[in-house]
Amino acid sequence: MVIQWFPGHMAKATREVKEKLKLVDIVFELVDARCPLSSHNMYLDEVVKDKKKIIIFNKIDLCDRTETAKWKNYFEKKGYTVVYTDAKNSNNLNKVIDKAKEELAEKIARQVAKGIKPRAIRSMVIGVPNVGKSTFINKLIKKNVANTANKPGVTKKQQWLKLNKDIELLDTPGILMPKFDNQEIGKKLSLIGSIKDDITPLDDVSLYLIELLKQSYLENMNNLYKIDVTADGENVFIMEKIADKRFKKIGGDYDYDSTIKLLIQDFRTQKFGLITLDNYNDMINEEVSDEN
């Protein structure tokens, strides 16, 4: 089963994002810090065109910071401004506002020089599903605005939320899906909950998770399941070891179904500790070899 990349409703969502983009000066693209490249929209520049952009590595509390530093550097070299946040715990959110003001300072200064009174900066949040967009917006608002309740009688259509006197945020995020024909990225997006489980081959996803853990976080996996596998072990063999530790056999066979669910659940509940799915050296080498 191949993961369906760009379902129809995603094309519609992308069109909607493009419409909303016309209204803003700056875009905050949220990515999951555990896979900043895989959850980043490769076509962002095409979609967003000439707007200013800030890439926000959200869920920074969950990732392996050694890898994160490499990815930050990667995006900065491409000209992006990167900010780390933990939206769930409201960490570093005001830094995003500060950076947005910095990014637009020149434009505003030019307007002032022409005698134009600048209006508030308008911003919006975009990103793939489950990277924390709604949490980010809600926490940012609570942090900066005392009362955001809608006025009765006012139709809630598109609302600008005031972050402070200089900057406003569109109340609904733009949902994007990377248009990327790469099954490995699909499996990572499945692990972080961006792609629904019912359209995903979870057996492949869990074997791929074993592969990633085996390459970079072998000890974490061995410790969690009290197994003693080595990096050259076959993925199916490792799965059987885990099954053997955790579940009774069914009719003499390993309980693969329960083991698949367990692996995915353990990743999603951070049982492996702080890990990053996008390994910088692997992916960047890959990018280079793809070009050759």
Pick between residue 104 and residue 176 the one whose CB is nearest to ligand G4P: 176
Report in angstroms how near the CB of residue 96 gets to ligand G4P at its nearest: 12
Tell me which DSSP letter residue 250 carries: B
The first and second tokens of residue 132, run together, are 């924390």
Tell me whether residue 132 is annotated as binding: yes
Residue 242 near residue 262 (C-beta atoms within 8 A): yes
DSSP string, 77-99: HTT-EEEE-BGGGTBTHHHHHHH
Q: How far is the CB of 265 from ligand G4P (least distance, A)?
A: 12
Site for ligand G4P in 69-108 (CB under 6 A): 86-88
- Tell whether residue 241 is a contact of ligand G4P (CB under 6 A): no
Retrieve residue 8's tokens. 């129809």
3 state DSSP class of 174: strand
- Amino acid residing at 188: K
Selected from 14, 38, 41, 58, the binder of ligand G4P by CB under 6 A is 58
Q: Does 61 bind ligand G4P (CB under 6 A)?
A: yes
Q: Is 58 annotated as a binding residue?
A: yes
- The dihedrals phi and psi of 94, each to the nearest 5 degrees, come to -70, -20
Q: For residues 64 and 273, what is the distance between their CA atoms, to the nearest angstrom?
A: 9
User: In one letter, which amino acid is 212?
Assistant: L
Q: Which residue in this structure is represented by tokens 């509390």?
A: 61
Query: What contacts 137, CB < 8 A, 6 or more positions away?
Result: 125, 161, 169, 171, 173
Give the residue, chosen from 28, 39, 67, 132, that forms a contact with ligand G4P under the rule CB under 6 A: 132
Measured from the CB atom, the residue of 77 and 156 that comes closer to ligand G4P is 156
Interface residue with ligand G4P among 36, 129, 174, 178 (CB under 6 A) is 129
Told to check if 62 binds ligand G4P by CB under 6 A, we report yes
Q: Return the residue nearest ligand G4P (CB atom).
A: 132
Q: Which is nearer to ligand G4P, 93 or 212 (CB)?
A: 93
For residues 152 and 156, what is the distance between their CA atoms, to the nearest angstrom? 9
Binding segment toward ligand G4P, per CB under 6 A, in 35-43, 66-74, 124-132, 147-155: 124-132
223 is in an annotated binding site: no
When asked if residue 36 is in the footprint of ligand G4P (CB under 6 A), the reply is no
State yes or no: residue 40 binds ligand G4P (CB under 6 A).
Answer: no
Instruction: Give me the residues that bind ligand G4P (CB under 6 A), please.
Output: 58-59, 61-62, 86-88, 127, 129-135
